[in-house]
Structure 1
Amino acid sequence: MNILVVDDEAVIRNGIERTIRVNFPQHQVYTAASPEEAVELLRQKAIDLVLTDVLMPGMTGLELIEFSQRSHSHIRWVVISAHSEFAYAQEALRLGAKDYLLKPIGKEILIGKLQALCDEISEEAAQENERTKEARLLAGNLRFLREAVVARWASDLDLGGIDLKPFIGNYPHFHLLLLCMESDSDLRLEHFIIENVMSELIETEGKGFVASVDAKSLLGLVTLQEEEGLGRLISQLRTHLKRYLKIPFQILHTDRITDVESVPEQVRRMRKSSESQVFDHYSSGGEKAVEVAMQYIQANLGSELTLEKVASVVFLNPVYFSQLFKQKTGNGFKESITQLRLERAMELLVKSELKIGEISERVGYPDVRHFSQIFRKKTGCTPSEYRLKEAAAMGKS
């Protein structure tokens, strides 16, 4: 039997692993220090029992159970936690966990619980016939094969003579959903979340499946019970993902497709569209991020202000920051920088006696000639002409 221990605290994780190895040497023990590692092990190994912490970075143990139920329904779960709140225990049991153990876990309690679960799993395995085991294994392997075939199909790559009929023959017409993520970090956990949420929602509106296309995108295929269901599906998907994901994402979709040959072109169109579509920001922090960025820009107008540099100040990916900035301010990043620099230059031209070259440097233009060209293009006059005009206007008043 394969047992997985998931806990971000090394002392707890290693202690449980050691107890299992000493008292149950016949079983294989795997450990994961994070939900990302747990998801990868669940995909790679035939895990029978999981002991998981509740509170971990990235995903809670309860969310791990919830998202794993679709593809790993046979697994037994035990939740371990330093929190005794009834709500945690109640939710764990609702999700099908076999028990809720409090840290620090007594060795005898852990051994007793594991023995009971091992006996239960062994008894069930004895009752499960060989055909059922093979069917479960085949279903899992077919899912990975379908994912590989669909990824190549969507990218218009050679399928090596593979017939698509076994994979999409039951879908005479369908819509495609392309979900793109924007992040430079490891996205295995996000893939896991999206695949499970989208699959669940597809089943509520019809039938279909989800496949990973590449590191940053997944493709969903859905045959709807009614065409109005597409809007509901996308709306619910966006709502769920804003709750669970911590990165920007986009959801794109096609119209109803009946011609299988058109799929690669349809995917290309969605990818092209994604280049100009604003990402959904995953939290209300978007407003604050742009506010902080604007404060930084105002304080550093005389310095080099690249998109990458300012995005790093607010810990956002440059592509996402650029879209968020335009969404919140109504102007592009470069356009806003230029406008702010010129406004500061106008202020200095009127309120100071600094030379044009000094003002140019103070607002971030080391080349005074370049500064004068931009100033004239935006205002219709040179910096010197602007100063004289404003001085004359003030003199008259």
Structure 2
Amino acid sequence: MNILIVDDESVIREGIKRTIQRAYPQYGIYLAANPEEVVQILRSRPIEIILTDILMPGMTGLELMKLSKPSYPHIKWVIISAYSEFAYAKEAVRLGAVDYLLKPIGKDMLLEMIDKLEGKIGREAEIIKESEMLQTNLKFLREAVFRRWASGLDIGGMDIASVIANHPKFQLIMVKMESDKVLHLEHFIIDNVLTELIAQYGKGFATSFDAKSLLGLITMDESRSMRNMLEELRIHLKKYLRVPFQILHTEVIHEFSAVASEVLQMNQNAISHEFEYYATGGSQVIEVALQYIKTYYHTPLSLEKVASIVYLNPVYFSQVFKQKTGYGFKEYVIQLRMEQAKQLLLHPQLKLADISERVGYQDVKHFTQVFRKSFNITPTGYRHEQRTEIRTNDGSLKFPSITENV
């Protein structure tokens, strides 16, 4: 039996692994720190049990379970969390979790739960797994054939007569993403959401088309609306995807031979089609980013690094940041650093090199250039100017505490 442990804290992952391995050395134990790693393991290993934390970067354990269920219905899910709110437990059970454990997990309780699940899995699970493996292999074969057909390539004599017969009229849906990173998790999300919606609204299938896009083929039920399906798809993708995306679709197609030209047309339309972005909570996300910047402004800060803190695509983060603050990211960081530098320059005991380092510049010359560009005066000139201005009535100099405004 194979068990996957999902938690962003390595100490917890390793602790659970040691406990299970000592009692069940014959089991295969796999570890994942985030949903991306989960997807890659699920695609390469037959997993029977997943123990997952509720709160993880980018996606909750409950969301991960909900998205994975259609593709891996045989897996037994156990939710682990330090949060004992009843709402979590209730939702976990509703989604099909077989158990819910609170941190810190007692060894006896953990092993008792594993022993109970082992009995549930048995021969029935093996039969289900074999059936699912067959379905998965058929899916991959269909994907490969349809991808070549949609690209206008030769399919090597493969028979697609049954597909054509099942879909005398159909529509195509394309979801395209924009990102510089490898999109394993995003493909997994779109595939599962699109497959589930196609089953709800008609019949058909979803397939990966290339590294940044997926295709869905659907014959709609007469009583269902493509508009409603696309809106539901958009809502799900805005909730789960962390990269910009586009949704394109065709009108009703009656000839399979038209698939390649329709796909080509959608790709051409995508050039002028606006990207959409996931529901970020807007101001709340930027508040988190601003707090991080204010705390770590003295360290090397990049747009990409801060965007990753709030799980946003850097391009989108830059746009939202400008919209919410009125400043570009780089402009904001420089202004914050320079304002802090002005406060530090009021302290004569601090050398210019110390101040430069405190506000995130290792090179004093660079710091001086940025300061002068910001205030049209050098740091030394500003310090001299301020020393003159803050003389008290008796002629003595008065400086603020060195901890003020820093």
Number of the residue aligned with 1:293:
none
Q: Identify the residue that residue 138 of structure 1 maps to in structure 2.
A: 134
Q: Which residue of 2 aligns with 1:103?
A: 103
Cα deviation for residue 115 of structure 1 reads 0.7
Whether the aligned pair in 2 keeps the contact of 1:279 and 1:320 (CA below 8 Å) is: no
In structure 2, the CA distance between the partners of 1:272 and 1:227, relative to structure 1 (3 Å rule), is: farther
Pair 1:258–1:320, CA change in 2 (3 A): farther
Distance 1:217 1:286, change over 3 A: farther
Structure-2 residue corresponding to 1:180: 176
**C-alpha deviation, 1:285, in angstroms:** 7.3
For the residue of structure 2 that corresponds to 1:56, the secondary structure is: coil
Match of 2:35 in 1: 35
Cα deviation per residue 1:73-107 (whole Å; 9 max; x = unaligned)? 11111111111111111111111111110111111
Aligned partner of 2:10 in structure 1 is 10
Task: Provide the residue aligned with 1:66 in structure 2.
Answer: 66
Q: Does 1:271 align with 2:267?
A: yes
Inter-CA distance 87–320: structure 2 relative to 1 (3 Å threshold) = closer
Cα drift, residue 65 of structure 1: 0.9
> Do the aligned partners of 1:311 and 1:317 also contact (CA within 8 Å) in 2?
no
- CA shift at 1:122, angstroms? 1.9
CA offset at residue 169 of structure 1?
Answer: 3.5
User: Per-residue deviation at 1:124?
Assistant: 3.5
Query: Which residue of structure 1 lines up, in the alignment, with residue 201 of structure 2?
Result: 205
Q: Which residue number in structure 2 is paired with residue 296 of structure 1?
A: none
Q: Structure 1: how far apart are the matches of 2:102 and 2:303?
A: 42
| C-alpha distance in structure 1 between counterparts of 2:147 and 2:173, whole Å | 13
Report 1:313-352 matches (<5 A): none
Q: Does 1:261 align with 2:257?
A: yes
Task: Specify which of 210, 216, 221 is matched with residue 220 of structure 1.
Answer: 216
Structure 1 residue 179 displacement after superposition: 0.4
CA distance in 2, matches of 1:83, 1:220: 38
SS in 2 for 1:8: coil
The 1:275–1:61 alpha-carbon spacing in structure 2 relative to 1, beyond 3 Å, is same
TM-aligned CA distance change 1:214 to 1:99, over 3 Å: same
CA distance in 1, matches of 2:270, 2:282: 20
Q: CA deviation digits over 1:336-362, x for unaligned, max 9? A: xxxxxxxxxxxxxxxxxxxxxxxxxx9
Counterpart contact for 2:74–2:129, Cα < 8 Å: no
Aligned equivalents of 1:65 and 1:155: distance in 2?
33
1:176 aligns to what SS in structure 2?
Answer: strand
Cα distance change of structure 1 residues 75 and 134 upon mapping to structure 2, 3 Å threshold: closer
The question of 1:75 aligning with 2:75 is answered: yes
Task: Please tell me whether the aligned partners of residues 244 and 313 of structure 2 are also in contact (alpha carbons under 8 angstroms).
Answer: no
Distance in 2 separating the partners of 1:30 and 1:312: 30
Letter of the 1:275 counterpart: I
The structural deviation recorded for 1:226 is: 2.2
Q: 2:192 is matched with which residue?
A: 196
Please report the TM-score for the alignment, with normalisation by the length of structure 1.
0.70
Q: 1:140, CA displacement in angstroms? A: 1.5
Secondary structure, counterpart of 2:263 in structure 1:
helix
Identity %: 54
Rounded to whole Å, the distance in 2 between the matches of 1:284 and 1:12 is 29
Distance in 1, matches of 2:46 and 2:285, equals 43
Residue 205 of structure 1 deviates from its aligned partner by 1.3
RMSD: 2.8
Distance 1:311 1:58 in 2: 18
3-state SS of 1:73 partner: coil
Distance 2:177 2:234 in 1: 12
Q: CA deviation at 1:49?
A: 0.8
Deviation at residue 319 of structure 1 after TM alignment: 7.6
1:213–1:117 Cα change, 3 Å: same
Contact 1:5 1:31 in 2 (8 A): yes
CA distance in 2, matches of 1:202, 1:270: 19
Distance (Å, rounded) in 2 between the aligned partners of 1:135 and 1:313: 44
Give the residue type in structure 1 aligned to 2:241: L
SS at match of 2:219: strand
1:148 aligns with 2:144: yes
| Equivalent in the alignment of 1:85 | 85
Cα distance in structure 2, aligned partners of 1:288 and 1:110: 37
Matched to 1:99, the amino acid is D
Deviations 1:288-329 (A, max 9, x none): 999xxxxxxxxxxxxxxxxxxx9979958798799x79xx9x
> Which amino acid in structure 1 is aligned with residue 242 of structure 2?
K
Alpha-carbon distance in 1 for matches of 2:78, 2:306: 39
- Given the superposition, is the C-alpha separation of residues 287 and 82 from structure 1 closer, same or farther in structure 2, using an over 3 Å criterion? closer
Question: Which one of 243, 249, 254 corresponds to residue 247 of structure 1?
Answer: 243
The residue type paired with residue 14 of structure 2 is N
Quick check: 1:183–1:247 contact (8 Å CA) kept in 2? Answer: yes
164-173 or 196-205, which moves further after superposition?
Answer: 164-173
Q: Equivalent residue of 1:50, what SS?
A: strand
User: Residue 366 of structure 1 aligns with which residue?
Assistant: none
**Compared CA separation, residues 77 and 228, structure 1 to 2 (3 A):** closer
